[in-house]
Amino acid sequence: MRLSSRITGRIAFGLIWASGGVAVLALLFIIGYVVVRGLPEINLEFLFTLPRGGLGGEGGISSCIVSTLWIIVVTMVLLTPLGLGAAVYLSEYAPDTRLVGFIRYGVELLAGVPSIVFGLFGYAVFVTVLSFRFSILSGALTLVCLLMPYLTRTAEEAMRSVPREQREAALALGATKWQMVARVVIPAAMPGILTGIILCIGRTVSESAPLFVTMGGSSQMPDGLMSSGRTLAVHVFYLAMETNALEKALATGTVLVVLILLTNLFTNWISERLQVRMMGVS
């Protein structure tokens, strides 16, 4: 028996609709579970006191919030210029040779390496050989290694998709290659570059394993680049594995989710404003 095209169309529509629905439901369930169980634990005291440890996971998460902010700032300050520099080189200046093809392939490959492998590398190099010890600096440098391939690839994609016509327009007006890159290509690629940067912040916030082995896990308030620290994600891991305070872990998870949500909203806001300014659409 052959089904009429109308019926196959309906079946396909139903299946597509169902998969979309499952994805949304799963997301709502996970977030809902974490937030519903975690939210009652959150109050000002929880946010503003140090973790005290112990089997009950006593105390709050103040130092974890501060550590998380530290690691975001240090990682992004180091990562952004390196990643963008590599992207500019690969997209605008790199000759089409085997070596460059190999570099590009290497970047792709690195982007797929599990993060704990970067953690071990960071432990071996930054913590041990370079004697940065368990510190925010070691953790941030490890994350830079982890995220640089990703940022480079995203930013390179964004720059390569700037149309040839706009590049030629700049050159035809007497711009040098660098002026073309700095004044036309990078601004035009900015929405894509920003998206990459935001996603990197998201990963910085959510990584736990590579930081656990490079930042240590001190619950003390960090007082500088060289002090050990514990980010929110590491704290969730610690609470879940070492204590029986699941509620506290979920509460910390809730704070994490909110932090990521805020970051995303902020980025959307910025890239929409950029879009309006550049394209004249709203």
Q: Rule CB under 8 A: which residues touch another protein?
A: 96, 163, 165-176, 179, 183-184, 187-188, 276-281
Contact 214, 139 (CB under 8 A): yes
Q: For the CB of residue 278, give the shortest distance to another protein in the complex, in Å.
A: 4
Please give the single-letter amino acid code of residue 154: T
d(CA 45, CA 251): 13
d(CA 73, CA 140): 9
Q: Which tokens hold the place of 93?
A: 């200046």
Select 128 or 179, whichever has its Cβ closest to another protein: 179
Show the CA angle centred on residue 106, arms to residues 103 and 109, nearest 5°: 155
Q: For the CB of residue 99, give the shortest distance to another protein in the complex, in Å.
A: 16
The H-or-E segment that residue 186 falls in is helix 186-206
Select 7 or 169, whichever has its Cβ closest to another protein: 169
d(CA 46, CA 51): 9
Q: Which positions ≥6 away from 132 have C-beta within 8 Å? A: 126, 138, 141, 226
Q: For the CB of residue 191, give the shortest distance to another protein in the complex, in Å.
A: 10
Select 74 or 159, whichever has its Cβ closest to another protein: 159
d(CA 26, CA 32): 10
Q: For the CB of residue 277, give the shortest distance to another protein in the complex, in Å.
A: 7
Select 83 or 191, whichever has its Cβ closest to another protein: 191
Select 88 or 215, whichever has its Cβ closest to another protein: 88
Q: For the CB of residue 159, give the shortest distance to another protein in the complex, in Å.
A: 13
Select 167 or 235, whichever has its Cβ closest to another protein: 167
Select 97 or 131, whichever has its Cβ closest to another protein: 97
Q: For the CB of residue 100, give the shortest distance to another protein in the complex, in Å.
A: 13
51 backbone dihedrals φ, ψ, rounded to 5° = -65, 135
Select 19 or 179, whichever has its Cβ closest to another protein: 179
Q: For the CB of residue 162, give the shortest distance to another protein in the complex, in Å.
A: 9
Q: For the CB of residue 193, give the shortest distance to another protein in the complex, in Å.
A: 14
Query: Position of tokens 């550590």?
Result: 67
Q: Which tokens hold the place of 141?
A: 């440098």
Contact 151, 196 (CB under 8 A): yes
d(CA 4, CA 172): 57
Question: 110: closest CA among 86, 76, 139, 137?
Answer: 86
